[in-house]
Amino acid sequence: MTNETDPVLGVVDLKVHFQRARSNPFLPKETVHAVDGVSFEVRRGSTFGIVGESGSGKSTTALSVTRLQHITSGKVLIDGEDITHLKGDALRAVRRRVQIIFQDPFSSLDPRRRAGAIVREPMDLLGVGEPGERDRMVSELFERVGLRPEQTALFPHQFSGGQRQRIGIARALATRPALVVCDEPVSALDVAIQAQILNLLRKLQDEFGLTYLFISHDLGVVQYVCDEIAVMYLGEIVEQGDRISLFSNPQHPYTQALLSAVPSAHRDRRKAPGRVKLLGDPPSPINLPEGCRFAGRCIYAQERCRAEPPKLRSIEDGHLVACHYAEKLEATPA
């Protein structure tokens, strides 16, 4: 029996590597380290956010959790059950407990099927409820996400972008999951619609007791919806903590740079002397540096950083950071 205090999701040393196609058969194979040793837990009923710039590995992590992406090594635990190597009927059973809301509401819905059929499909495939009750369940889900029951007869192209994402949310809830992975669910929407969808997700979390793994590159969105946040850079978690400590006291230079880059309408904030700027471009995920992966862009980097990779360590209660000099970042940059 599942203990209510146990984490819904556990990720242990997750690695996802891709073999790059060779242009020359005589050259050695190249490996892309998309996710390279990520570990975290998501508490029941909470929202765990993963944030980072494009190419950091956050979406690959999300797809791996849902088993939509091949896992090179490591473990993914759902309610304590290792689902990393499940196949067939065993994996199908897990699909009832883990669902995903995709980033693009325009391409994630089948344009040839009516909205009601799209939401009902997971129920039919995974045997949720009695067949005679499923149409009623679909209508109820439409109402829960802010759509009218009669809209079940419409096709996706007859809805706006925000309405399509509501259909995607209803589809994710159709199997009554314990964990919902939200892969940048509002990034393709207008700002006003983003707020509506985020408020809807919080409302549904309270009503259904949902647990969210929330992927985003938008720090404002993450700060609004997440209880705990992990910052990823080039396949690794470089900082992790609760929302308040991470935003009020960021310890990793990369996190500080991300927060400094948030647009502000206040001129004094834009010109503040404490703002941290990123230098250059990220290194290649194929040819990774020996030491800290952020050292080449870090204004605080020392020789140790270029030679020795930092470990993710605790500096406060529940606040983790992968930086040799996290406690000394007030010093003059090198």
Tell me: the pLDDT tens digits for 94-130? 999 999 999 988 899 999 999 999 999 999 999 999 9
pLDDT category, 77, cuts 50, 70, 90? very high
Q: Are 34 and 18 in contact (CB under 8 A)?
A: yes
> What per-residue confidence (pLDDT) applies to 333?
42
pLDDT category, 275, cuts 50, 70, 90? low
Q: Is the pLDDT of residue 316 over 50?
A: yes
Higher pLDDT, 21 or 219: 219
- Strand 47-51 and strand 228-233: the pairing is parallel
Structure tokens belonging to residue 55: 């190419």
What 3-state DSSP class applies to 51?
Answer: strand
Q: Is the pLDDT of residue 161 over 70?
A: yes
> What per-residue confidence (pLDDT) applies to 228?
97
> What per-residue confidence (pLDDT) applies to 210?
96
- Share above pLDDT 70 across residues of the chain, in percent, rounded to a whole number: 93
Sign, Cα dihedral of 87, 88, 89, 91: positive
pLDDT category, 264, cuts 50, 70, 90? low
> What per-residue confidence (pLDDT) applies to 233?
96
> What per-residue confidence (pLDDT) applies to 26?
74
Distance from C-alpha of 307 to C-alpha of 295, rounded to nearest angstrom: 10
> What per-residue confidence (pLDDT) applies to 334?
41
Average pLDDT over residues 75-86: 95
pLDDT category, 265, cuts 50, 70, 90? very low
> What per-residue confidence (pLDDT) applies to 62?
95
Residues 167-223: pLDDT tens digits?
A: 999 999 999 999 999 999 999 899 889 999 999 999 999 999 999 999 999 998 999
Strand partners, 183: 215
pLDDT category, 328, cuts 50, 70, 90? confident
> What per-residue confidence (pLDDT) applies to 2?
59
Higher pLDDT, 162 or 271: 162
Average pLDDT over residues 148-165: 96
pLDDT category, 327, cuts 50, 70, 90? confident
- Strand 319-321 and strand 313-316: the pairing is antiparallel
Number of residues that make up the chain: 334
Q: Nearest-CA neighbor of 172 among 215, 136, 128?
A: 128
Distance from C-alpha of 309 to C-alpha of 204, rounded to nearest angstrom: 41
Query: Ranked by mean pLDDT, which of 116-120, 124-128, 281-285, 297-301 comes out on top?
Result: 116-120
The CA–CA distances, whole Å, from 248 to 176, 257, 273, 321 equal 36, 14, 17, 15
All domains in the chain, ordered by first residue: 9-97+177-249 (3.40.50.300)
DSSP string over 175-230: T--SEEEEESTTTTS-HHHHHHHHHHHHHHHHHHT-EEEEEES-HHHHHHH-SEEE
Task: Tell me the average pLDDT of the chain.
Answer: 90
Distance from C-alpha of 133 to C-alpha of 149, rounded to nearest angstrom: 14
> What per-residue confidence (pLDDT) applies to 294?
94
